[in-house]
Every structure is written in structure tokens, then in C-alpha cells.
Chains A and B, each alone.
Chain A
Amino acid sequence: MNTKNVVETLIDCRGVWKIFGDRAPAAMQAYRERGLTKTQILQEYGCVVGVSNVNLQVRRGEIFCIMGLSGSGKSTLIRLLNRLIVPSSGEILIKGRDIAQLDAAALREVRAKHIGMVFQSVALLPHRTVLENAAFGLEVQGLSKAKRHEVAGRALAKVGLSDWANRYPAELSGGMQQRVGLARAIASDPEVILMDEPFSALDPLIRRQLQDEFRELTKSLGKSAVFITHDLEEAIRIGDRIAIMKDGVIIQEGTAEDIVLNPADDYVVEFVAGISRLHLVKAHSIMQPLAQYSARHPHEDPERLQYAAPESDLDSLINLLIRSGHDAVGVRENGTLLGVISQRDLLRAVQGVRDDESHAQTRTSVEGLV
């Protein structure tokens, strides 16, 4: 961790806008000059704002999830990154180069070699074999047949489909087809893979399996990814960082724990409500200070409690508590007792509710003692 002093930014979006409609340039101008709202832009210019003033950075080696419901602009945003859609305003830098400045050949080269893409519809060419599909990107780059089939074969092996190389897409299940889509994207060895809701159409079990495989594969190959999804649980499972989009705007960006523990607004709160906290919430964010615990339990010696590390998640804390036979666990780092988590704290944390009552009670009892 400490050796990585400089984190390289692969994709950098600065103030990116996309307005759809015949009068988009005029609408963009009007926004700049008069600061119109989205509704005003729609009323005055008949234009729809797809993406509104988005700033985001994707760093080397990270999986960046963009979560939003349909119509939130997430699919538009991901298409802006490889210029399948041209932004109305703002800059998009790929490895420091503004892609708006590239000529047609340079743009093709960036798409062919630096940014892979996987689609929700998979888009496997039906009249080509699995191997030929996986080799499509390399074929476009003009590699010889032998060479591209060799490389594509290795990519297929990475997604576990070597045995299916000479079959046709129609013979494969949905999950396998999406694996081919992924193999096609990684065969060209791009730094970034754009994933446009790739697993949305799959059934839940296959989806979870692919999520785990995807994360593992991306990490082991050292790739970065931008992953679009409408499912917050998927974003949490896969993403290192998550951005939540609504009406074309990114309303919150952060790690899964950030978002679950500190939702930015009521909209995010609603999403977060159904999310299991078992693997997200860590001991350090729910423990009570040592003094507080001692004040409430003067006869207990917190040093005798079983203890966990500050980074332990709720799941392991519950296991520890049950095994220990006590009704609280300690949190230690480097031998020092930092705090205590009671059974009550743990239950409230699983619910996702702040235990205000107990805080209030302890506060009064502490005050009473002083």
C-alpha cells in the first residue's frame, strides 16, 4: 500500500454534459449564460439533459461502479467515455489525452487497444464461432488469423470457456455468452474495460458467480473497469468505489461503506435500506469508547473480553460474540483496547439504525458519575 505513492488516473471526466435534442448547443449555451434547470431546458429548448456536469476519476487498477436506475444517465455516461456519444460540453481525458482532440484513426486506436467494452446485450455475432467472436477486436486490429486465434484462445481459457471455442453463440447459455463478451474485451488487453450492465439480464445465481469471477479476473489482470449497474448490491459486491447517479447527476461517490453508513440524501437512504450490512460495516464504526462501556458496566473488566480488529465486519463480530459467551466484544489494535461493542450495538448495526437511545442513556449515566 505504501509503495503506491502516485495513483495514476486513467479516465478523468471534467464537467461533462450531454444534452440530447436538435437544439442541444443552444440549450448548453443557455445553461452557461443563465443557469437554466433541467426542466427549463426541456421546456424552452425541447432538449433532454442526459448527463449533467459529471466529474469523476477512474484510477489504474480500480473497479469504479456507477449505479443508477433507468433514465439516470448512466448508460449515456459510459458511452461518453469511449466517445460512442459525443459530449455537449466538458473534457474527457484518457490517460491524460483529451479524446475530443483525437482524429478518427487515433480514436479507433484508443477504442481498439486501450478501452474494451462489454454490453448488456452481449452482441456476439451469431454467424461466428465463440473463438472468432472472442478474436473480433484483434481481427479489427489486423492481426493474422493464427495470432489472433491464439490470443483469443487464451482469453477464453481465462473465462473458462476453452472447450466451447468452436461452438456458436446460440449454443451457449446467457451466462456463458457474457463470459465470451468479457473474453472478447480482454483479448485486446485494454487498460480499462467498460461494462454496460453486463449481468443485468442473467438469473441471480449466475449473476453472483459472474460478479465474483469478474472482480477476481479484473484484479488478477491488473485492469481497471467502469461498471454500470442498476443494482446497488452488485455495485457493492464488485466496486472499489461507487458513484450513485440520478437524473444525470452524480449525487454521491465513495466506497461501499461510505455510502451505506453516510447516505448523501433520502434517495440514497432508500437504496441503502435493503442492503445487508454484515460484510460492509466495520468494528471501528460501531464501537463505543472504553470509558463509556466501563461507566455502564462498572463490574465488567473489558480487558477480559474476546477481541477483534477494527477492520472486522459485523459477520465475524457476531461469530466472535456467540463463541465468547460474553455479551460484548472488545476492539483491539496493536494490543491496545480501543473500544467495546455490546450485543445491542451489534443488533442495531445489523438493522442499520443508530442506537440513539443507548447513546442518550450512557451520556446521562456518564454525566451522573462525573
Chain B
Amino acid sequence: MNPEGFASTFDEHVDNALIWLSDNAAGLFDLFNDLLKALYQAVYTVLEVPPFYAVALLFALLAWRVAGWRFALGTFLALLMCALMGLWPQTMSTLALVLTATSLALLIGIPCGVAAGLSPALNRLCDPAMDLVQTLPPYIYLLPAIALLGYGTGTALVATVIVAVPPVLRLTALGIRMTPKAFLELGNASGTTGWQQFVKIRLPFAMPSIMTGINQSLMMAFGMVVIAGIVGSGGLGEVIYSAIRTLDIARSINAAIAIVILTLILDRLAQSGIRTAEEARHDAH
């Protein structure tokens, strides 16, 4: 068989499949797209409606609660800077995208991770799938999404969710799988039901690993949301993309600074939040 002929046949099939999908399931995809957009819009509204200083103050307060006043001051000034650069709406839009995508990724990744952690067979299935998702260049996920959902927020969210799922899924599975054998034995010898075993023994031991997974997924989502600027995600990603196209270097640097600020704040908040949660569990009494 002629290899080029084979390749073009294969391509044809893929194209046909996509066309068939958009022809026959257009309603379904539109509904899905609308749902994603609505979700994003809800989060964005919460962040966009109050004046920028109120939001910055709120973040500073949160930062103070989990990591002390130095970090709180830094957070406030950094967010203020985003506003001064004239990028406040875009910054909030990126934040809304990241939060929405990460929430969806956790909603998928944690339950799947738990299942994979409990079932070695399922884990053997998940592992290569996650390998594939993590080794392919993230741009790839924009293509089928844009074919089915079109230019805009929906596509950006889907691609971001795909990229953000693997870390939390894997680390959840790892945490659940790694329950020390002695404690499983304790559970069995105490007469626990399967559910009690999961909630009282497996989950507490898996918690640190799951938390790390959540943080990593958050960071992956950040990376992808910026790339998704190409498909009209809105927010800082799109600012950078259009600045590059017009060689507006100054503006692209401003947007880059805003992204770094947002990433640092969220990463630090998440990490301190995890630590505070762990300590709270210890000080429960």
C-alpha cells in the first residue's frame, strides 16, 4: 500500500468523523458550549462586578489568613499593579478561566483517581491514557475542541481541563493506592465496611498527595489558559497573542507580568491553604 495514500485516507476519515459529529451532534455541542460559557461567566461576574480594590483587598485578606501579613501586603500591591497596567478585566478573566477549568478538572480527576487507586485494572488503563495526555503538546487539544465548539471560551476551557486533569488524577490514585498495609489490616481486623475503610483510613492517608495534585493541576491550568489565547479565550492569553501579532512588545510584557503575579499568588495561596488545612486537622481538638 502506498504510505501517502494511507495517510490521506486516514486524514479523510478523521475529517469525515469530525464533520459527521458537527453535523449530527451540533445541538449537543452547542448545549455543552453554552454550559461552559455560563459557568465561566458566573465566576467572571463575581470577580468583575466589585471594584478592583475590593477584590485586591479580599485576596489580601485571604493571604493574611493563610500565610501572614507580608504575603498579604505583597498580594495587595501586586494586584494593584495589574490594575495600574490597565489589565484588570483581563486579569480577572484569566483568573475566572483558571478557577473554572481547575474546578472541572478536580470534579473529573479526583473521582477517577480514587477509582484508579482502588482498582489496579482501571489504573493500568488510566496510566497510559494520562501518559498520552501529558506527552502530547498542549496545542493539540485546541484543534478538536475548536472544530466542535468553535472559537471562544468553551474551547479554551475544554483544552485547559484536559491538561489539568492528569496531575490530580495521578496523585489521587497514588495516594489512595499507597495506604500503609498495616492500616488496611487494622481496618479489616476492626470490622470496617468498604466505605468506612475508604473514608476513615484510605482518604486521610491520601490527603497530602491529593492536595499536591490539586496544586499541580492549578499550575497546569495556568499554563494552558495562556496558550488558549490563540482560540479566543479572552483574558491575558489573548492580550499576549494579539500583542505578539502586532509586535507590541511592551504590552505583551505587561500581560506577562500580570500572569506571573496571578500564578505566584494562586500557587502560594493554594500551598499555604493546604498547610493550614493539615494543621487544622491536627488541632481539631
Chain A contact residues, CB within 8 Å of chain B: 82, 84, 107-113, 115, 117, 119, 121, 123, 125, 127, 129, 136-137, 139-141, 166, 168, 188, 194
Contact = CB atoms under 8 A, between A and B. Distances in A.
Given A127-B204, A168-B282, A111 B183 contact: no
A119 B180 CA distance: 13
Interface string B181-213: 011011111111100100011001000000000
Contacts of A168: 282
B196 to A, nearest CB: 6
* List of 7 A-B pairs having minimum Cβ-Cβ separation, nearest first: A112-B191, A111-B191, A108-B191, A117-B189, A121-B182, A123-B186, A123-B182
B196 A140 contact: yes
B281 interface: yes
Contact of A125 (B183, B185, B188, B285): B183
A112 B183 contact: no
Contacts of A82: 189
Contact of B185 (A108, A119, A137, A141): A119
A84 B189 contact: yes
A166 B281 CA distance: 13
Contact of A137 (B183, B190, B281): B190
A16 to B, nearest CB: 18
A343 B45 CA distance: 99
A140 B191 contact: yes
Given A84-B188, A121-B182, A139 B200 contact: yes
Contact of B188 (A111, A127, A141): A111
16 contacts: A84-B188, A84-B189, A107-B191, A108-B191, A108-B192, A111-B190, A112-B190, A113-B191, A117-B186, A119-B182, A127-B281, A129-B285, A139-B200, A140-B190, A140-B191, A166-B285
A119 B182 CA distance: 8
B193 A108 contact: yes
Contacts of B188: 84, 111
Interface in B94-108: none
A317 B281 CA distance: 59
Nearest to A82: B189
Most A Cβ at <10 Å: residue of B191, B193, B200, B204: B191
A121 B192 CA distance: 19
Contacts of A111: 188-191
Contacts of B187: 140
Most B Cβ at <10 Å: residue of A113, A136, A141, A168: A136
B282 A123 contact: no
A129 to B, nearest CB: 6
Contacts of A119: 182, 185-186
A139 to B, nearest CB: 7
Contacts of B183: 123, 125
A137 B187 CA distance: 9
Most A Cβ at <10 Å: residue of B180, B188, B190, B281: B190
Contacts of B193: 108
